Amino acid sequence: MGLIRPAPPAAPPGTPARDPGLRPGAEMAEAAAAASACTLCAPHLPLGPRPIHQLHAQARIVITSQAPGTKAHLSGIPFEDASGERLRDWLGLGKDRFYDPTLVAIMPMGMCYPGREPRGGDRPPRPECAPLWHPRLLPLFAAPRLRLLVGAHAVRFVLGRGMPFAERIERYAETLPMHFPLPHPSWRTLVWAKRNPWFDTEVIPALRREVARALGD
């Protein structure tokens, strides 16, 4: 827990939309600072831009998740909530290793809280974010061994829409050793997992094996 560094405070209302860009040849620390300064979606973000990520060139596991919820937006810490507890349980990792950026990177599909849908639930990640930042950030990881695609947005962005989501999860072995597709660890997934018991009996044990492999345990 001592390694957690909350994101800088949210940009104030009225902040202009701006992509800070990235200098060619920049290393990960500079890229992470640039991502933190991004306000590109400011007009669409009800609580203002507050990019939340965990980035280090040496990370062995890269988590591509959805977008922060309100709790993460307020704390500046990714996955510091019930979904994060569930994800860490799936991975077999305690907070000390999960929040060690030299082991685990968190590079969401949308780094800022996107707001609520009128009918409830959070909006999808901002569509500007992953196409802009992932190509800048991904090459700066020295030797990632496993990329976890957490939730339908990440799975479809990286692996395409070629098959139904549940089938993609069930056929996780086809995209190893690099990509491991997963559902979002929200409470809704508990219901989904009851209907798909192979998730707990087959996918989770395989996930823990892959995480241990990636971390060299």
> Using CB under 6 A, which of the segments 23-31, 33-41, 87-95, 200-208 binds ligand SF4?
33-41
> CA-CA-CA-CA torsion for 144, 93, 55, 133, nearest 10 degrees?
70
Which residue number, 97 or 126, has a Cβ lying nearer to ligand SF4? Answer: 126
Check binding of 41 to ligand SF4 (CB under 6 A): yes
According to CB under 6 A, which one of 28, 31, 32, 38 is a site residue for ligand SF4? 38
Three-class SS state of 140:
helix
Quote the CA–CA distance of 155 and 133 in Å, as a whole number: 17
Check binding of 112 to ligand SF4 (CB under 6 A): yes
Look up residue 58 and give its DSSP letter.
T
Q: Which amino acid is at 27?
A: E
Check binding of 39 to ligand SF4 (CB under 6 A): yes
Q: What is the phi/psi pair of residue 180, to 5°?
A: -120, 105
Q: Tokens representing 85?
A: 């507890």
Q: How many residues form the binding site for ligand SF4 (CB under 6 A)? A: 14
Nearest approach in angstroms of CB 5 to ligand SF4 is: 17
Residues 134/52, Cβ–Cβ less than 8 Å: no
> Using CB under 6 A, which of the segments 76-84, 121-129, 182-190, 191-199 binds ligand SF4?
121-129
CA angle 50, 56, 60 (to 5 degrees): 125
Tell which residue, 60, 1, 56, has the closest CA to residue 33: 56
Q: Which residues of 142-163 are buried (b: 16+ CB within 10 A; e: fewer)?
A: eebbbbbbbbbbbbbbbeeeee
Nearest approach in angstroms of CB 9 to ligand SF4 is: 14
> Using CB under 6 A, which of the segments 75-83, 126-134, 159-167, 186-194 binds ligand SF4?
126-134
Check binding of 73 to ligand SF4 (CB under 6 A): no
According to CB under 6 A, which one of 10, 28, 40, 59 is a site residue for ligand SF4? 40
Check binding of 137 to ligand SF4 (CB under 6 A): no
According to CB under 6 A, which one of 10, 55, 63, 111 is a site residue for ligand SF4? 111
Nearest approach in angstroms of CB 19 to ligand SF4 is: 7
- Under the rule (CB under 6 A), what is the footprint of ligand SF4? 35, 38-41, 49, 51, 110-112, 126, 128-129, 132
